[in-house]
Amino acid sequence: MEIKTTRFLKGVTGTEGLPKPERTTIAFFGRSNVGKSSVINALVRHKDMARSSSRPGRTTEANYFLVNESWHLADTPGYGYARLARTQMEKIAKHLSWFAGAPEVAIALAVVVIDAEIGLQDSDRETISVLHDAGRNILLLANKADKGRRNDISNHIHEAEREYPGFPVIRYSSKTGEGRGDLLAFLSTIVETPGA
């Protein structure tokens, strides 16, 4: 699969704004500063599609994009940014918990972006737990694989594989393009149908 077109549809903060569920939705989750926006921009090869803010935690809605006029990509708010006011953190956590677990939110695959340089964090584990409890299919995407020491990167990726043996883990770098082909190949198994 190759991504030819991507366009913004809408930002969603509640059930009434959700797109109709007839299209497959791939949703991206990740901590603030994990590089989720860069991951998405590198995936679709559009450097400004998913906007990263200079102020983490600013985005509080799930942004939906239509890809190849056939499936939805949902970019969710970043989590785990400790410098936000408690009320803002609680608002983001509540919205993310709803989006990740609510049955009315159709998610064919949840891509959880983790930091290969520092490894899994507790906020990642909490998000993965909510997704798993909701019965979501989960892919772990180890971003920033081009940074830090190679041994540390490999150890952190192996740690994720050991901790979550049932989930695929892809090594990724939004900077070098490493893993983009693997991610596209995996997504194609989710969104492509015979004759499409």
58-101: per-residue pLDDT in tens?
567 899 999 999 999 999 988 876 565 667 667 777 878 889 98
User: Binning pLDDT at 50, 70 and 90, where does residue 168 land?
Assistant: very high
Q: Are strands 6-12 and 71-75 parallel, antiparallel or unpaired?
A: unpaired
Residue 41 exposure: Cα atoms within 13 Å on the Cβ side? 14
In order of their start, the domains of the chain are 6-191 (3.40.50.300)
Structure-model confidence comparison of residues 39 and 87, the more confident one: 39
157: left (phi over 0), alpha (psi -120 to 50) or beta: alpha
Average pLDDT rounded to a whole number, residues 39-65: 74
161 pLDDT band, cuts 50/70/90, is very high
Number of neighbouring beta carbons within 10 Å of residue 95: 19
pLDDT (tens digit, 9 = 90+) per residue, 17-28? 888 888 999 999
The predicted-structure confidence for 94-142, as pLDDT tens digits, reads as follows: 878 889 988 899 999 999 999 999 999 999 999 999 999 999 999 999 9
